[in-house]
Amino acid sequence: GSLGSAENLPPRTLSRVGKEVRSLLKGPPEGVRLVVDPETGMPGSLAELQAEIEGPTDTPYESKYFQLKLVLSADFPTSPPRGFFLTKIYHPNVDMSTGAICVNTLKKDWTSTTTFAHVLSIVRCLMIVPFPESSLNDEAGKLFMDSYEEFSRRARLMADVHGRPRPFTEATDWSNGSDHHGAGGRGGRKGKDLSETSPSRSDLKRGISSSSMSSSSLPIHPGGRSMSGSSVRSSGSLVRSSSVSSNGGALRNSGNSKMGVGGADKKSKKKSLKRL
């Protein structure tokens, strides 16, 4: 199918983006789908990719679907894309008015080899483990630290109002993992059941909290296993070793910050977020 409009992208960049898009359509990360033109089975624009994320289990966003976009500049991949939620979401790292996403993968940890699959997986991780100390929504960040129950209530309320109960990408079967992109029925790797997308807190702690872990030892998608052998799907597992970039460092703290919500004292929680 057509690759859609490319606006300011030079030919070499266009080639890379097209290759990544095809790879994403063939084998998307758990809980993530590209939004495509049903006629062509490809994104409407390669300079502004739209995707949809399934709210992870055991979060205020569970069972809702959220759209976002990655906007590429003319000097991509030297400069990172800018990420925005198109669906209104109550989250410490998302600006309420613009939808702008604050995550290290799109800032200091960006490298020219970082993939879209990796970025989208990290954004989904952020829905499980926010980083309130680098917040764009100060109220949500403060509530997340001081009163998780109230944060969760507000986030769920907004998810109920603005999140979609069914995926925008209806042409893709999210339930059994067989992918059909667009009306053409583009085809499909068998995936895992997305009803089990979120790693448990212990999986997160085991899988991504160790500061000594190298990117090659992080859990790998698809069907990634944590070192204990228990299943770590989607958000907890990073996409293929080749796409794991230096942002592994940002994720290393996430297990501890999630555990903090579960009752560990706030000192350890704040310590785990200190690097950000």
For the ranges 50-59, 197-206, 220-229, the maximum mean pLDDT occurs at 50-59
Tell me the catalytic residues.
Answer: 102
- pLDDT score at 7: 59
Q: Determine contact, residues 262/201, Cβ cutoff 8 Å.
A: yes
In sequence order, what are the residues at sequence separation of 6 or more whose Cβ sits closer than 8 angstroms to the Cβ of residue 88? 96, 99, 158, 161, 162
pLDDT of residue 41: 87
At residue 168, the pLDDT reads 75
Pair 105, 114: CB distance under 8 Å: yes
174 compared with 144, residue with greater pLDDT: 144
pTM of the model: 0.63
**Angstrom distances, CA of residue 166 to CA of 127, 162, 174, 201:** 18, 12, 10, 26
**β-sheet bridge partners, residue 220:** 238
User: Which carries the bigger pLDDT value, residue 239 or residue 116?
Assistant: 116
Coil/strand/helix, residue 164: strand
Among the ranges given (39-43, 95-99, 146-150, 223-227), the one the predictor scored with the smallest mean pLDDT: 223-227
Residue 254 has pLDDT above 90, yes or no: no
Residue 35: phi and psi, rounded to 5, are -90, 125
pLDDT of 255 strictly over 90: no
Q: How far apart are CA 158 and CA 230, in angstroms?
A: 32
Q: Which H or E run contains 77?
A: none
pLDDT band with cut points at 50, 70 and 90 for residue 170: low
Domains and CATH numbers, the chain: 11-195 (3.10.110.10)
Instruction: Look at residue 199 in the predicted model and tell me its pLDDT.
Output: 40
* Chain centroid to CA 89: 14
Residue 216 has a pLDDT of: 30
pLDDT at 240 over 90: no
